[in-house]
Structure formats: C-alpha cells, structure tokens
Chain A
Amino acid sequence: GEDVEQSLFLSVREGDSSVINCTYTDSSSTYLYWYKQEPGAGLQLLTYIFSNMDMKQDQRLTVLLNKKDKHLSLRIADTQTGDSAIYFCAETPSWGGGNKLTFGTGTQLKVEL
C-alpha cells in the first residue's frame, strides 16, 4: 500500500528558507500536494505538482519532485512567523480509485524571531 513519510519538526529563523521533505512509495502517484494546517483550522491547499514535472514555483514556494527517488520537497523562501504551521504532503494514485488522498505524517514548522 501507499506510505508517505515526513520529518516531524523543523525550526527556522525568520527570513531564512525552510525546506520540508517528503518521501512516498506509490510510483503510480499522479498529483502530489502540499497542505498547510494552522492550529485549530482545517487544511489549506498550498500548491501541487503533477508527477511528470520536476519543479514548480509559486511566489515564495518552490516544489521539487524527484520521481526516481520518490522524494518531494517544499521550499519556503523568506520564512515568516505566519508560516508557522503543520505542513502535510499528500498523493493521489492514478489507478482510477477516486482521488482519495494519502497524507504524510505532517511536519511542524516553527519560525523563530
């Protein structure tokens, strides 16, 4: 079955770049997503990448995908205190089983002044 792994914690200083990593096992994944969850809130879609892409940039966010190694990363440039949250990567399969998401364990990002 699918398995998605993330490191649990990341601490950075305000203004630095943050890099959150994710590994997955399902080679048939079509879309890979990054969601953000702030305390007491639902999941906010940040960005996504299609599996035939290597990189996607969206303002301060850069997503890198290494399909060979099944490794996904999210880089946040100029990290701000408002970026403190839990970040989840998620993937969907391509086998037509609907688009149910398999989520990673989540990485808690703490931004320090």
Chain B
Amino acid sequence: GAGVSQSPSNKVTEKGKDVELRCDPISGHTALYWYRQSLGQGLEFLIYFQGNSAPDKSGLPSDRFSAERTGGSVSTLTIQRTQQEDSAVYLCASSLSVSGGHSTDTQYFGPGTRLTVL
C-alpha cells in the first residue's frame, strides 16, 4: 500500500485481557517503530526494529509489552494482562532505513490504534 497501515483502528478490551495490535509498514522500509500517545504522557517511543538487528526495546514500559516483526515486514505489538493505564493511541511508523541521512530516515506514521481498557 501507499502508507503505513494499522489494525484494528479501535480496540476496546477488559482489564486483564491480552491484546494484539498490527502494523504494516511501507513496502521496502527496513526500520519500524512503535510509539504510544496518551493524555498524561504525550508521545512516547516504545520499540524499534531495524532489519535483522536486535530490536531496541528501551521504551517498553513493562514486561507485559512485547513486539515482534516477522519476515522483516509486518509487526505485532502485544500487551498482556492489560491495565487501564495502557489506554492510549498506539502509533506505528516506518522509515526506509537508518543511515544518518534524512532522505532515508524520515519516519512515516500510520493512523494509529486507539486502545481502551475498561
């Protein structure tokens, strides 16, 4: 597709349930990022994948959060035992690569998944 797509667009879940959020990056982009946007914390980095390198998980808020990127393309962010404070919009972005040059490093964002934990 032309841009980054995310699914579902909205997810309502009960506290304690697990959820999976999906991101399809722009075709050919090797770098993929997850961010979270919440009222209290603003926009926060969560995790970053670049090619076959080990992901940078430094932004994940707890061990209930994990992410995978299969085949270097689609990524899934999983939140286990959801809590009300996990309610937020989860944004995915991709870039062509990470090389230190703007033309390849610019991140393009998807529309986000709005997660509501009741």
List residues of chain A with CB under 8 Å of any chain B CB: 30-31, 33, 35, 41-45, 48, 50, 88, 90, 92, 94, 97-106
B48 engages A100 (CB within 8 Å): yes
B98 engages A99 (CB within 8 Å): yes
Contacts of B4 in A (CB 8 A): 42
B112 engages A42 (CB within 8 Å): yes
How many chain B residues touch A (CB < 8 A): the figure is 26
Q: A42-B91, A45-B107, A100-B45 are in contact. List 4 more A-B contacts (CB 8 A).
A: A43-B93, A99-B107, A103-B43, A106-B43
Taking each of B43, B56, B100, which has the highest tally of chain A beta carbons within 10 Å of its own beta carbon? B43
Contacts of A45 in B (CB 8 A): 106-109
Contacts of A90 in B (CB 8 A): 43
Complex CA distance for A101 and B43, rounded to whole angstroms:
9
B98 engages A103 (CB within 8 Å): no
Complex CA distance for A97 and B106, rounded to whole angstroms:
15
A48 engages B91 (CB within 8 Å): no
B105 engages A41 (CB within 8 Å): no
- Closest A residue, CB atoms, query B92: A42
B34-52 interface with A by 8 A CB criterion: 35, 42-45, 48, 50
- Closest B residue, CB atoms, query A50: B102
| CB of B6, distance to nearest CB on chain A (Å) | 8
User: B25 in the interface, Cβ–Cβ < 8 Å?
Assistant: no
Contacts of B59 in A (CB 8 A): 100
Contact (A106, B42) CB under 8 Å given A30-B100, A43-B91, A98-B98: yes
A101 engages B100 (CB within 8 Å): no
